[in-house]
Amino acid sequence: DSGVTQTPKHLITATGQRVTLRCSPRSGDLSVYWYQQSLDQGLQFLIQYYNGEERAKGNILERFSAQQFPDLHSELNLSSLELGDSALYFCASSVGEFTGELFFGEGSRLTVL
């Protein structure tokens, strides 16, 4: 158990819909990262937050947004969903902004039908 909690574990929805994925980092970790794992793209970095502020953006679509709340939990919002958004979405956390190992949650598996 990495200590990073993600909900929901599985989600099935239809094209055009909007979903929210939730992540609670390990106790004491200030950085939260979101990753997408799909069969064709592999593991792709989406976005990083540190202590509530956005720190880095990767290959995140404009239809996707995220935030980190004062209690350090984070949410990834995916809207206008397309079939290609079906993937495993991971949240990871680390203690610092620039240091520390990244510990991943178990992922949220999104299926768009």
Largest CA distance in the chain: 39
Strands (E), 1-113: 5-7, 10-13, 19-24, 31-38, 42-50, 53-57, 64-68, 74-78, 87-94, 103-104, 108-112
| 53: contact with another protein by CB under 8 A | no
| 105: contact with another protein by CB under 8 A | yes
3-class SS at 51? coil
CB 100 within 8 A of CB 2: no
| 28: contact with another protein by CB under 8 A | no
**Distance of alpha carbon 33 from the chain centroid:** 6
- Pattern 81-100, another protein, x by CB under 8 A: -------x-x-x----xx--
Closest to another protein by CB, 16 or 100: 100
Closest to another protein by CB, 45 or 61: 45
| 56: contact with another protein by CB under 8 A | yes
Q: Residue 46 CB, nearest distance to another protein (Å)?
A: 9
| 104: contact with another protein by CB under 8 A | yes
Q: Residue 11 CB, nearest distance to another protein (Å)?
A: 14
